[in-house]
Each structure stands twice: as structure tokens, then as C-alpha cells.
Structure 1
Amino acid sequence: MVCGDKSAGKHYGVAACYGCKGFFRRTIRSSQTYSCRFDSKCLIDKDQRNACRYCRFKRCLEVGMEPEAIRPDRDVIGKQKNPRKRKMKRESSSLPSPGGVENLNYIDHGDMLLSYMV
């Protein structure tokens, strides 16, 4: 365990929270190098894990996180397009426009409307 926060499972060889998992992955993938402004002995716990990146990364390695375990084809870094938003937009474009359908009967077409709402 890196910071003592609730474990989200085994990540890169050790039990780690999502925060430490992501921090470790981003550090390795972007080849970051950090430096400590203090004595390289900063406390890494749930409340102060973001205070010193150098000591946090050092702690990740000390507890056994494996840089080789990071897969380049997974956990893409960067701005992600929202696939759910894109899907909803695509589905809404297939709905009939209010002016394009004459006297849409909500009772007769209730099943169709319900499927579009879900």
C-alpha cells in the first residue's frame, strides 16, 4: 500500500488506491522526473500524498510497483472523448423532430419512446 488509502485492488503488482495507480502510471508513461524540496523523507499518507511527487513516486517503487507492468495499449492518457455523450447524440438524431411527425400518439408509441429514453 502506497498511501494507506482504501485499496482499489492490485495495480502494477501491489494493492493501491486509484489515485496512486493513476499517479504511478502517468509518471512512468510521461517519463517524469521529480525532485524533493525537503529531505526526501516526506510523509506519504492519504491526506498528504500530493504534497511531494518525488517522495510519492519513491514510495511507489519501495512498496513494489512495477514500471514494466504498465501496458502501453491500456489506460490512455489525455483528454478522452465521452463515448456515452457521443452515443446519446447519435441516438437523439434518429428521434423524430416534434414538427416532423403529425399527431404522435404517446399511447400507441409508448414502447418506442421508452426505448429512446433509456
Structure 2
Amino acid sequence: QRTCLICGDRATGLHYGIISCEGCKGFFKRSISNKRVYRCSRDKNCVMSRKQRNRCQYCRLLKCLQMGMNRKAIREDGMPGGRN
């Protein structure tokens, strides 16, 4: 059983280049597709865990990018993709 590299939840597979859970996969896709801009009300190093991952979207997206999630893997036309 693998764990998500972002929040530590149960991972469902390789999503956008890293092993992650469905929650982080969907969050990353929505954030990039909708060009969301988040702000951190603390000092930009919030704890990411399964229970606390929804408290700070800024730090969650930052961790997604730091761990290696690939922005270019998200299709602009919104269609589901696949491995190249």
C-alpha cells in the first residue's frame, strides 16, 4: 500500500508524474485548469496531512509542484488524457 507524496493519504496511482491520492490529483487539476491563485495566511509552511490538507490551498499547491507534479500533463481542452 502506497501513500500520497503530498498529504500521506492512501495513493491510487501515478498522477501528473508522482504517486498521489485522488484528492490531491483533483485539487491539482482544478487549480491549474482554472488558473487559481491562492494565498497563505500563515508563513507558507503549513502542515500537509490527510486531515489538514484542505486548510491551506496555497501550501498544498506549492507542495504538489515541489514534489514534481507536472503542469504540462494537464490538457487544456479538458479531455481525459493518457500516457504519452
TM-score normalized with structure 1 length: 0.61
Matched residue, 1:74? 79
User: Which consecutive unaligned segments of at least 5 residues does structure 1 have?
Assistant: 76-118
The 5-angstrom pairing of residues 1-118 of structure 1 reads 1-72=5-76, 73-75=78-80
Deviation at 1:21, TM superposition (A): 0.2
Deviation at 1:74, TM superposition (A): 2.2
* Percentage of pairs with the same residue: 45
> For the aligned residues, what is the CA RMSD?
0.9
**If each structure's helix is expressed as a fraction of its own residues, which one has the higher value?**
1
- Alpha-carbon distance in structure 2 between the residues aligned to 1:74 and 1:22: 14
User: Which consecutive unaligned segments of at least 5 residues does structure 2 have?
Assistant: none
- Alpha-carbon distance in structure 1 between the residues aligned to 2:49 and 2:65: 15
Asked which structure has the greater CA Rg, the reply is: 1
